[in-house]
Structure 1
Amino acid sequence: MEKLVWSIAFPGFGQFLNGKYLKGILFIALEILINTQANLNEVIILSFHGETQEAIESADYGWMMFYPCLYLFSIWDAYRDSGNRMVPFSYIPFVMAAYFFTIGLIFSPTFEIAGFRLGPVWLSILFCFIGIGIGLLFQKWLLYRKCKGNEA
């Protein structure tokens, strides 16, 4: 759990804790590159201050589109390498989270809920949690089918 949480804090930290130093350096370098090119820290600050339109205008969506997959893959990779018992299909919630995170990012400049635009940070986070939920349901369904297949 510790390695997963550190990867949530910063991609690459979980890999360092797992002793995968080269992979950790790669994830940290990619995080810094994508974060800087996407102007992500500025977008996060503006979003937390409620300046959604400024956050949308500050975002470099071409670079930001790389972030969900890097972020979620880094988290999953740290979890996978942590030595914990792996549940079959454990990657599914992470993959679905990355897909939905990306979809939220794509629609963030125009998507509104009750006339309110959430922007690139909050809509992406909302969609990420939806993706995790769908991924967990899909994983459960796959496990159910696998168990049913073993009974036959």
Structure 2
Amino acid sequence: MTEKKQHKSIRNRRRPKGIVKPISVNFIHLRTPWVITWWSASYLGYAYMSLGSYVKGFILIFLEAFINVNAKLNLGIFYSFTGHFEMAKQVVDINWLLFYVPIYIFCIWDGYGLAVDLNKYSILADRENSSMIPFKISNWEVAFLDKRKPWMAIALSLLFPGLGHLYTHRVPTSFYTLVWWSLIAYKGNLFPCVYLTAMGDFAGATTVADPLWLLFLPSIYVFAIYDAYVNTIEYNRLFEQEQKRFLIDNYQSANFPVPE
């Protein structure tokens, strides 16, 4: 039910569905809180990136790498998975590892709570039929809503993580993912490993690989594919909602019987 005592412009500013800016198209939509919780557990900060809370996401993604590398947590995981439990105990730095625990718990708790709250605001925005401007132009960029292909977002993310988000104009997520993937791939010697593996030199690939950095990559890769796909679907849905609202407001007869 809309808040009829308030002017329409105030209602639209109070609970907007989304916003189109030259730097990004940011919006809210219904999510499964447990999926967001999983991304918090998988990689600190990715839950916030998915929800459009970029500042928190950037800070926590940096902290994830900073604390993990100093604690040598990925090395401990690597040695544990390969059955070298004593080496895992020796390599992990407890002083740094204990910094990780409270931040990890906070991200899981807060990511779940934020997803629940944003779901409520998304429902309210739909009920209030909040409008948005679907086109924004500036001296630096042109941003607008239109239909995109979800399979293309997947293909671009498979090609290079971050390109799928760039496809739907999520520039902060795209830029950070592109830079982060490139940095970690370089530090982990990913491309020399790929080259040596393609040449059949598996022993050489094993030698040059740095598991301390390479174990970051699976989470980044899967997140980039998943989030770009979901974002594209919801992006298309937002476009349809905005177009529907515009057509009803400007072209549909007031006497048209709306089906219940």
Q: Give me the TM-score of the superposition, normalised by structure 2.
A: 0.32
Alignment of 1:20-99 (within 5 A): 20-83=170-233
**Percent identical:** 27
RMSD value over aligned CA atoms? 1.3
Provide structure 1 residue ranges, at least 5 long, that are not aligned to the other structure.
Answer: 86-152
Q: Are 1:10 and 2:160 matched, yes or no?
A: yes
Q: How many residues in Structure 1 have an aligned counterpart in Structure 2?
A: 85
Aligned AA (2:163): F
Q: Which runs of 4+ in 1 moved over 4 A?
A: none
| Whole-Å separation in 2 of the counterparts to 1:40 and 1:46 | 10
| Whole-Å separation in 1 of the counterparts to 2:168 and 2:158 | 14
CA shift for structure 1 position 31: 0.6
CA shift for structure 1 position 84: 6.2
Which structure shows the higher helix fraction? 1
Provide structure 2 residue ranges, at least 5 long, that are not aligned to the other structure.
Answer: 1-150, 236-260
| Whole-Å separation in 1 of the counterparts to 2:208 and 2:175 | 27
Aligned AA (1:52): F
Q: Give me the TM-score of the superposition, normalised by structure 1.
A: 0.54
CA shift for structure 1 position 83: 1.6
Aligned AA (1:70): I
| Whole-Å separation in 2 of the counterparts to 1:50 and 1:18 | 38
Larger Rg: 2
1:103 aligned residue: none
